[in-house]
Amino acid sequence: MKTFNFLIILSMILMVSFTVSAETVLYYDCDTDMADNPGVPGEQINTGTSPAAGIPDLSGNGYDMWGWASATQNNSPAWSSDTPNGDGLSVDFVGFTRDGYTGSGSGTINTWSPETWTIECAVKFTDVDGWQTMIGRDGSSTGSPDSDFYFQLSNDGGSQDQFRINFRAVNEERYILDSGPDYVIVPDQWYRLAVTSDGTTLRMYFDDGSGYVLANSLVMTGATPADNAPIATGNFVWTFGRGWYNTSGDFCDLSRRYPVQR
C-alpha cells in the first residue's frame, strides 16, 4: 500500500472570496486543538476511541473538524510539523483510512449552497498515483454513485495528474475543472490551491511556491448563478483527506479502483 499525505495548513477556507473581502464561514489553521493548545506532532487530533472534534473552526461558527474513531480504533489524522514555510503545524492523513469531517450537528455548513464561494487549501503528497480526494462530501443527493463534491488530485488516464474540482450543481449539472497540463504535480512538493465561483465562472488558482496564478477557468452553463450553486439537499458532512463513492468511504488506495468518469 502506498502512503498518502494530505496536510491542510493555514487556509482551509469555505465561502470567502479569493479576490474581495467576504465572510469566512469555515477556517482551520491546524495549529490548535480543541483545548486551545498547540497540537503535538505525531499525536492524532482525536486522542480517544469515540468520535470527537479535534480542530476548532476559527471562523467562530462552530464547524469544527472531527476525527473519526470507533469503540475499538482511532482513524483520525495526526498533527505534523511539516508546513509550507516551516512554521506552525499541519494535519497529516497517513495511511489507508484516516480522515476528518464536519460533525452531523454542524448545521448550515452541511447544507452549504451559495452562488459565490471560494475553497482554499495547501496540500503535499508522498506520491501522486491514483485518485486522492482532499475535500469531499459524504454522499450523493441524487442517489448516483458519485459524491456531490470532490476537490482532488485526479488520475483519469491522461498524460499527467492534475488538480480537479468536480461538483454537482442545483440544476443537477456536473461541473469539472482541471488545473491543466501546464502545471506538473510531483511528490513531496507543497501546493497552495484556490477554487472560486462567482455564480457563472469557475476559476482555479495554483501556487507551487512562486505565487498564485490562474491555472484554468470554466464558464458554467446554468441559466442563472443560482442554478450553478452546489447542491446540498442531502445534509451530508464535509470530509477532509478522503472522498465518497458508491456508498463507501473513498480513501486513498480504494479510490484508485474507481472509474475514469469520476
- Cβ atoms of residues 132 and 152 within 8 Å: yes
CA-CA distance, 120 to 12, in Å (whole number)? Answer: 5
CA-CA distance, 48 to 42, in Å (whole number)? Answer: 14
Q: Is residue 170 pLDDT above 90, yes or no?
A: yes
Q: Is residue 201 pLDDT above 90, yes or no?
A: yes
Alpha helices in 76-174 (DSSP H): none
Lowest-pLDDT range of 130-134, 200-204, 214-218, 256-260: 256-260
- pTM score: 0.88
Measured over the CA atoms of residue 28, residue 148, residue 192 and residue 85, the dihedral's sign is: positive
- Cβ atoms of residues 212 and 205 within 8 Å: yes
* 228 half-sphere exposure, CB direction, 13 A CA radius: 20
Cell of residue 192, nine digits: 497552495
Lowest-pLDDT range of 39-43, 58-62, 95-99: 95-99
pLDDT in tens, 33-48: 999 999 999 999 998 8
- Cβ atoms of residues 64 and 53 within 8 Å: yes
Position 157 confidence tier, pLDDT thresholds 50, 70, 90: low
Can you list the domains of the chain with their CATH numbers? 12-255 (2.60.120)
Exposure string (b/e) for 99-126, b if CB count within 10 Å is 16 or more?
bbbbbeebeebbebebbbbbbbbbbbbe
Cell of residue 179, nine digits: 488545473
How far the first Cα of the chain sits from its last, in Å, is: 22
- Cβ atoms of residues 226 and 170 within 8 Å: yes
* C-alpha Rg value of the chain to the nearest Å: 17
Lowest-pLDDT range of 18-22, 57-61, 173-177: 18-22
| Strand partners for 119 | 14, 195
